[in-house]
Structures are given as C-alpha cells and as structure tokens.
C-alpha cells in the first residue's frame, strides 16, 4: 500500500523542485511553488498516515526555542511519516536559556549536518538569521510576530479545497483578533493576497499594527461590519497577557466586542467557513458551539492539512531532483 | 619650535568663511599663517594637492566605553577611530561603568586621553547618579573636574519633576544639558521605527511619539528654566520642528544635533533583520529622513554627530529584538555627510563642515573647529574624490557594528593633525 502511495506521490511531483531552499516567508513563494506544494499536500492527504520512505536516511532537528505543542507534533509526525530521523530541542532544554550565546546555538545547529532544521522562536527573524549560516534547509515554524508560513499554506489549502477553486479571487476573508502579535496573520495575509483574496481585519486599534493597509487590507473596528458578506471568518487567539499589558481591558470585554458568536457568524455569507489556527480559547475568541462541531467550522481540517502541507515542504526541501545546493556562509 | 607646512590644498574653514587654494603653516601646535603660497621651510611638509584642508571634526556624541566596557572600545581605540575619520575632538558620553556621575571618572577619562595624546576628549557627566533617574549627580564637581555637559544619554530623565530641577541646577552652574529624547513607556520594547517595514518584519515598532513627547518636554522645560539644552540625535519631523520653533522664538539656550545616519539612511536598512541597523532613535522612514534633511538645510540644526556606539559581535549577532542598540560612526561620519548631504546638493561642503566643526565646538564652548590664525592646529585633510566601500574589518574601532558596512561612500580622511602633530599620514594612523 505504502509503495503505491509513494509511486503516486513521485508521479505527482513529476521531477519538480521548489524555487527556494529555506521556507522563511510566504513572500519567497512563486505561483509555481504554491501549485507544487498544494499538489503534493493533496497527495499526502490521500496517503493518510501511511509510512513512506520518501526521505529515508535524512534527518531533521526541530529547534523550538519557544514552547509549542501542536506545531512541533505536526512537524515531527510529518517527518517521521516520511521516514526522517528527528530530534527536538525544546525551549526548556535549549541552551540559549543556559546562557549560551545565540551565535553558538546557530553554529551548533549548523554542525549537526542535518538536512532540515525547523525553527520556532519568540523573536522575529531568527529563522532567517540562522538560515544564512547553516547548510541545512531552514523551515520557519513561527517567528515572533512575523510569519508562520506552513500555517499560511495550510490555511490557503483549506480555503481552496473548500471552494474548489484554483485561487481566492473574489473571496472575502475577515480576520478577527490580535492582528498585531500574530505570525499567523503575517503569513495568511501574504498568501491570501497572492491568491487574489480581499482581506479585512477587525480588532481594537491597540491590536492592529502600523500601516497594515500596506498589505492591501481594510481595517475595521466594528467586527459585524467586517463579517458582513465574508466567505471566510478567520478568528485569531487573543492571549490573556495582552490584557495585562493594556492592549485590551479584559478578555470579557474583548469577547463581547470581537468574539465570534453564532449571531455574528450568521452575518457572513451563507456557507461561509470558520477558521482558527488554534489553540482556541473557547467562548473568548469563538463561541464554543462554533469551534469543532459546527458544520462550517474547518478548524480540524486545518490541523489535518497542516500535516499534509508540512510533508510536502519537508520532502521538497530534503530531496532535490535538480541537485542544487543552498549557499550559506559560516559564522 | 616644531613646524608643519600643509601645501597646495583647498582650505575650507567655515568659521572664517574661507574657501581658498593655499598653504597653512603650523607652529607649536597653533595655526601660524595662511596664505596662497608660503615659502618658509618647515620641519614637516604635507602635500595636500587635490585635497580639502578642513578643521578637525568635532563630534558631540561618542561612546568611548572606557572605563568598564573595554571589550567594546577603549579611549585609545575610540581615539584612533576618530583620527581615522578626521575627527579631532569628541564629547565622551557618561554611560560607562562606573557611570561618569562623579569627578573621579571625569578625571580618569581626561588623564587617560592626555596620556594617550591622540585627540581632544571632552567628557560629559551624568545628570543623575548612575544614570538611574532618581537623584541628581554633583554637577558642580563634574564641571570643575572638566565635564563639558551633563546627560543621561541612553535614557531620558523620565521623572519630569527631577528633569526640571536638573535643568534649574545645571543653569545655576552654567552647565550644558544634553537630552536623549526618548519616552521609554512609548518605546515599550520597540526595536525599530514603527511603520510599514516594522509591520512587514513583525518587529515591535518605536513610534515617532517616543521621541516627540520627550523632545517637546525637554524643550518646554528649557524654555521655562532657561537652562542650556542640547537635543541629541533628532530623527523625527516633529523633533526637528520643536528645535526650529524654539530657534524662531529666540531661545538661544536650545540647540540640537542630528546623527549623520538619520539624515542618510531609512528603516529599510533593517530588512533581513540587520542588527547593525538597530539603534535609538531608530532609522526612520523616508518621509522623516526628508524632513530631517530639510531641517538641516534650513539651518535649524546646529550639529551633525555620530552617536558612535561600539558593541561586541555577540551583542549584535542576536535576534533583532534582543540585539544591542547602536552603530559605530567615527570612521564614516565625514564620508556619510559628504555622500548623503553634499553630493546630492542638500548642503555645500562648507555648510556640511560647519555642522561638524565650529558649530558643535561653540555648543560646548570650546575654541575648536576653526583654522583661524592662532587657533589650535587640529586639522583634517580629506580626499573628496575618493570612493570606498566600508569594511568594518579595517576599522580602528573595536566596534565593527557599522550601519554603513558594505556601502559605497565618497570622501575619506587622508591626514589628521591634532595640536600640530600628525596623527594620521596618508591613511595610516600613526
């Protein structure tokens, strides 16, 4: 069974390679790259959890400098499914906490000589900094407030497969919540604009970054206005600590003013879908009844698509048909 | 009597409104004679044909790091960096370790620089003890020890009641205050200018307001108290407007500087998470840079400085938000001024040099920055045709963190003379 999935996937790939060596930002991706990743992700979805040997003999380090459960599990499972050896550097055990200089951490990652380094960091730009100094392909698994490209890819795949279209032109995506601190938004807005969607953001002014309009989006302070006629309602998590830091008075008030309730969701287009990157704070970001059991919720499908997209990316980065090597400089 | 003859240069001395081809004779550390042609023999002769002979530059904003952070810079390496850039006088910031909040540190800096005999180092003292913003330092003692100004540079005195008292007290002793215009509560962890670039990079932004609120508060207090206030490193449209307005209203006690990089580069330098472009104030967006350049052209700005801030490599090889703030500048300031302000014709060479010579000298009341007969023979000789690529590995400074690294600049110091002694000859620091 695994063999037939494998040959299907190899046929699907048809000798194609990605234009990039590291996946740091959606900005890097060409239309061709997107098509290739989505094709392969759909193939991986068909193969479900069958153990594949596509990346056998390769290894991957999951360097998660910021704690993460879901994304790390997803990357780790995806790699293992492809028969890669993986190891993880968790935030608690990471040496940066022990006073090791960032520079030494980067050098160590480089010296592992692995094929793929997956990086999650609390600070923006860390994957990009590391990528220019290691031979491994770096995959950004979320950096600070910047980007989370595989999340953007899985979000786009979820939308495309729902609408059954090649792009998102004519679609309206309303993103609600903590836009400013969201790397999910960072990748979502880039990929949505690449695919031709209209993007609205709705949040208190304190949670919207400067010049957000330059992404080509419209800002709303009234969530109901933003939801009207939307094809996708995308809720982002608002963290408790934002209240402590004065971005919002309380989660209670946030929930009342921006939380996605059934009544508010009904303002979107009939058949609109609800998405959320997780973890959801039920009844704060999104009304509990909408989260997983609502027929229009795509939250669990996002998780499934995440695994498929990550397999596609890991395969493309760890096995190149064109034999090209990434260039980098030692520190 | 030792003599030095500088021949056939183009002498540009804004203080004397002089721009002429000619010779300069230096004797015993002073300018003795300036003429079209000097035939007297001298102990040493420099042929300055094709070069600009200018007063040695005066930089009001330099972090020499000694005492305490000799890993970043020492008075010696910082002074040599100055010489390499044609800078012959610097004001040394007090945020050393220990902080220059007492006369011992001032005396140490003065004694060390005297012993080194490289450039003129004019130390600034701290406004508050330990730059802690809590209690005033003994400003009179600092002044008597030789401090030319007081500043808590690196931070503003956030307690406005204390800042008011500091100004009143500084005025009592006729001491210059230098203000680092930053409202830290507005900066709030910000790492670069807040705008489209910070949003794109996902980096916490520093709004103009962080600077504007602090600059306005300092200006209002200086207007009210009459203290002599010098506004350090202005970078926003409103900050330079505050300075211009104070000038128009006749407040001669208020002056201000721009750090060359803020008139030259934009926040786009932060692209790729380039930590050498991380500094405070942050490099601003193009419209702000334009406003700052316009203010410089209008004459509202009194000086161009560097805010030379050396750091060691591990402090800069960090995630952008964690990296140290600051760029070195002593070895690029003339070139940056020439490349970004004179070449595009925002300023004449004389105007640019004025902002880096006698005008800053006047702010600290030092008789420097001029080539008038009888003046101290601090002279910088520049080649304004020289194009070069900034390579920090070649710096005299220990700090390799230059925001100009890799940039192609025009103009370079060739010879530097301090008190009549040649400290750099043909590009080699002696």
Reported as a single tens digit per residue, the pLDDT across B284-326 is 999 999 999 999 999 999 999 999 999 999 999 999 999 999 9
- Distance CA(B376)–CA(B29), nearest Å, equals 6
Q: Give the model's confidence band at A2: pLDDT under 50 very low, under 70 low, under 90 confident, else very high.
A: low
Q: Which residue range is the domain that position B30 belongs to?
A: 3-53+376-384+410-429
- Return the biggest CA–CA distance within chain B: 65
The runs of H, that is alpha helices, within B189-285 are 196-201, 208-225, 237-248, 260-264
Same domain, residue pair B274 and B187: yes
B187 falls within a domain: yes
Mean pLDDT across chain B: 98
Tell me if the domain spanning A149-291 has CATH number 1.50.10.20: no
The CA–CA distances, whole Å, from B184 to B129, B157, B206, B240, B243 equal 19, 10, 10, 19, 21
Q: Give the model's confidence band at A62: pLDDT under 50 very low, under 70 low, under 90 confident, else very high.
A: very high
Same domain, residue pair B139 and B66: yes
Same domain, residue pair B16 and B124: no
The lowest-confidence range among A96-110, A138-152, B194-208 is A96-110
pLDDT of residue A111: 84
What CATH number is given to the structural domain containing B45?
2.30.40.10
Same domain, residue pair B89 and B195: yes
- Distance CA(B325)–CA(B317), nearest Å, equals 12
Same domain, residue pair B181 and B270: yes
B395 falls within a domain: no
Q: Give the model's confidence band at A313: pLDDT under 50 very low, under 70 low, under 90 confident, else very high.
A: very high
With CA atoms as reference, report the closest residue to B357 among B50, B64, B86: B86
Active site residues of B: 307
What is the complex's ipTM, to 2 decimals? 0.94
Same domain, residue pair B117 and B177: yes
CB–CB contact A209 B198 (8 Å): yes
- CB A314 within 8 Å of CB A60: yes
Mean pLDDT across chain A: 92
Q: Give the model's confidence band at A49: pLDDT under 50 very low, under 70 low, under 90 confident, else very high.
A: confident
Tokens of A153: 């890819």
Tokens of B331: 């070895």
- The more confidently predicted of residues A241 and B327 is B327
Residues of B contacting chain A (CB within 8 angstroms) = 194-196, 198-205, 207, 272-273, 313-314, 317-322
pLDDT of residue B74: 98
What's the whole-model pTM score? 0.95
pLDDT of residue A85: 95
CA angle B2, B8, B9 (to 5 degrees): 90
Per-residue pLDDT averaged across B54-73, rounded?
98
Q: With contacts defined as CB-CB under 8 Å, which chain A residues touch B199?
A: 209-212, 214-215
- Give the side-chain half-sphere CA count within 13 A for B12: 24
Cβ within 8 Å of residue A224, ≥6 positions away:
A264, A267
Same domain, residue pair B36 and B76: no
Same domain, residue pair B134 and B206: yes
pLDDT of residue A106: 77
Return the SS3 of B296: helix
- Exposure string over B50-87, b if 16+ CB within 10 A, otherwise e: ebbbbbbbbbbbbbbbbbebbebbbbbbbbbbbbbbbb
Q: Give the model's confidence band at B127: pLDDT under 50 very low, under 70 low, under 90 confident, else very high.
A: very high
- Give the count of Cβ contacts less than 8 A between chain A and B: 68
Same domain, residue pair B16 and B105: no
- CB A286 within 8 Å of CB A174: no
- Overall domain count for chain B: 2
Q: Give the model's confidence band at B123: pLDDT under 50 very low, under 70 low, under 90 confident, else very high.
A: very high
Q: Please report the residues numbered 157 through 216 in chain A whose beta carbons come closer than 8 angstroms to any beta carbon of chain B.
A: 183, 186, 209-212, 214-215
Reported as a single tens digit per residue, the pLDDT across A108-166 is 888 888 999 999 999 999 999 999 999 999 999 999 999 999 999 999 999 999 999 99
Reported as a single tens digit per residue, the pLDDT across A280-305 is 888 888 888 888 778 999 999 999 99
Among candidates B196, B201, B317 on the partner chain, residue whose Cβ is nearest the Cβ of A125: B201
With CA atoms as reference, report the closest residue to A123 among B212, B107, B321, B285: B321
- Distance CA(B310)–CA(A301), nearest Å, equals 51
Reported as a single tens digit per residue, the pLDDT across B342-398 is 999 999 999 999 999 999 999 999 999 999 999 999 999 999 999 999 999 999 999
Same domain, residue pair B155 and B177: yes
Q: Which residue shows structure tokens 């995630």? A: B319
Same domain, residue pair B162 and B18: no
- CB B91 within 8 Å of CB B62: yes
- The more confidently predicted of residues A279 and B56 is B56
pLDDT of residue A284: 83
Among candidates A125, A186, A211 on the partner chain, residue whose Cβ is nearest the Cβ of B320: A125
What CATH number is given to the structural domain containing B281?
3.20.20.140
As assigned by CATH, the class of the A2-144+304-318 domain is alpha beta
Strand-pairing partners, residue B205, are B192
- Distance CA(B404)–CA(A21), nearest Å, equals 29
């Amino acid at each position: 069974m695994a063999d037939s999935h494998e040959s299907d996937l190899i046929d699907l790939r048809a000798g194609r390679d990605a234009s990039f060596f590291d996946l740091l930002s959606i900005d890097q991706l060409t239309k061709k790259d997107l098509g290739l990743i989505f094709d392969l992700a759909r193939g991986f979805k068909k193969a479900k959890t069958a153990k594949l040997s596509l990346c056998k003999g390769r290894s991957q380090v999951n360097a998660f400098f910021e704690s993460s459960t879901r994304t790390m599990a997803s990357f780790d499972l995806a790699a293992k499914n492809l028969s890669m050896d993986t190891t993880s550097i968790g935030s608690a055990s990471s040496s940066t906490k022990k006073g090791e200089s960032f520079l030494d951490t980067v050098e160590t990652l480089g010296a592992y000589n692995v094929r793929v380094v997956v990086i999650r960091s609390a600070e923006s730009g860390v994957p990009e900094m590391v990528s220019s100094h290691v031979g491994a392909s770096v995959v950004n698994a979320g950096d600070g407030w910047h980007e989370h490209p595989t999340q953007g890819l899985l979000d786009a795949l979820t939308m495309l497969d729902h609408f059954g279209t090649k792009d998102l032109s004519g679609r309206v995506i309303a993103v609600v919540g903590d836009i400013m601190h969201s790397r999910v938004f960072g990748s979502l807005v880039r990929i949505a604009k690449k695919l031709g969607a209209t993007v609205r953001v709705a949040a208190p002014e304190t949670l919207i970054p400067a010049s957000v309009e330059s992404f080509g989006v419209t800002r709303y302070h009234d969530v109901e206005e933003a939801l009207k006629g939307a094809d996708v309602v995308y809720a982002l998590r608002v963290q408790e600590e934002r209240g402590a830091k004065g971005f919002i008075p309380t989660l209670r008030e946030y929930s009342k003013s921006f939380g996605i309730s059934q009544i508010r969701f009904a303002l979107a287009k009939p058949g609109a879908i609800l998405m959320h990157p997780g973890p959801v704070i039920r009844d704060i970001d999104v009304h509990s009844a909408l989260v997983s059991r609502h027929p229009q919720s795509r939250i669990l499908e996002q998780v499934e698509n995440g695994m498929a997209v990550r397999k596609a990316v890991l395969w493309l980065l760890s096995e190149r048909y064109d034999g090209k090597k990434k260039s980098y400089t030692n520190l | 009597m030792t003599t030095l003859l500088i021949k056939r240069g183009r002498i540009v001395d804004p203080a004397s409104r002089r721009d002429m081809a000619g010779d300069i004779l230096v004797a015993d550390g002073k300018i003795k004679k300036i003429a079209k042609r000097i035939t007297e023999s001298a102990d040493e002769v420099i042929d300055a044909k094709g070069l600009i002979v200018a007063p040695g530059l005066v930089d009001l904003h330099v972090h020499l790091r000694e005492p305490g952070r000799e890993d970043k810079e020492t008075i010696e390496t910082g002074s040599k960096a100055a010489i390499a850039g044609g800078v012959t006088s610097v004001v040394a910031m007090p945020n050393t370790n220990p902080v220059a909040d007492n006369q011992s540190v001032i005396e140490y800096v003065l004694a060390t620089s005297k012993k080194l005999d490289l450039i003129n180092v004019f130390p600034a003292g701290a406004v508050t003890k330990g730059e802690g913003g809590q209690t005033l330092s003994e400003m009179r003692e600092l002044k008597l020890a030789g401090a030319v100004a007081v500043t808590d540079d690196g931070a503003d005195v956030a307690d406005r009641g204390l800042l008011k008292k500091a100004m009143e007290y500084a005025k009592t002793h006729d001491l210059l205050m230098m203000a680092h215009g930053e409202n830290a509560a507005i900066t709030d962890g910000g790492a670069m200018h807040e705008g489209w670039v910070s949003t794109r990079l996902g980096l916490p932004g520093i709004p103009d307001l962080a600077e504007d609120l602090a600059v306005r508060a300092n200006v209002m207090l200086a207007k009210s108290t009459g203290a002599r206030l010098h506004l350090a490193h202005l970078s926003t449209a409103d900050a330079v407007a505050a300075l211009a307005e104070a000038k128009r209203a006749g407040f001669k006690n208020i002056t201000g500087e721009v750090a060359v990089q803020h008139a030259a580069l934009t926040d786009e330098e932060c692209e790729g998470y380039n930590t050498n472009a991380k500094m405070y104030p942050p490099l601003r967006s193009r419209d702000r840079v334009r406003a700052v350049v316009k203010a410089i052209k209008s004459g509202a700005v009194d000086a161009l400085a560097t805010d030379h801030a050396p750091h060691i490599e591990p402090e800069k090889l960090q995630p952008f938000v964690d990296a140290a703030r600051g760029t070195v500048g002593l070895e690029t300031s003339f070139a940056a001024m020439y490349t970004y302000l004179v070449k595009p014709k925002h300023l004449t060479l004389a105007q640019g040099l004025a902002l880096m010579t006698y005008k800053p000298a006047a702010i600290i009341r030092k008789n420097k920055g001029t080539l008038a007969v009888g003046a101290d023979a601090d002279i910088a000789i520049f080649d304004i045709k020289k194009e070069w690529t900034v390579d920090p590995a070649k710096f005299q400074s220990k700090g390799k963190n230059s925001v100009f690294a890799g940039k192609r600049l025009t103009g370079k110091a060739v010879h530097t003379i301090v008190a009549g002694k040649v400290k750099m000859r043909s590009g080699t620091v002696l």
